[in-house]
Amino acid sequence: MIGRVNKKPQPNNSIKCLVNTCDYYGSGDHCYANEIEIKTNRLANSTEMTDCATFVAKALI
């Protein structure tokens, strides 16, 4: 994935997100990213071995 993805005006109900420090996160554990990309090494055998490559840290105000 290259660059940021579009932020949707409504949550993407097919994606549950628990990372409240992500700019795409919305209350109720929703993701507002248009799409996500999951990265891993090819030998992953647990969720702990994967990462959301779409993550963008929320701006601290």
Task: Spell out, as residue ranges, where the chain has pLDDT lower than 70.
Answer: 1-3, 60-61
Helix H, strand E, coil C: the string for 6-22 is: CEEEEEEEEEECCCCCE
pLDDT for position 40: 83
Look at residue 43 and tell me if it is in a domain: no
Look at residue 17 and tell me if it is in a domain: yes
Look at residue 45 and tell me if it is in a domain: no
Look at residue 27 and tell me if it is in a domain: yes
Model pLDDT for residues 23-40, shown as the tens digit of each residue: 999 999 999 999 999 888
Number of domains in the chain: 1
pLDDT for position 42: 81
Look at residue 6 and tell me if it is in a domain: yes
Look at residue 60 and tell me if it is in a domain: no
- Domain span including residue 20: 1-36
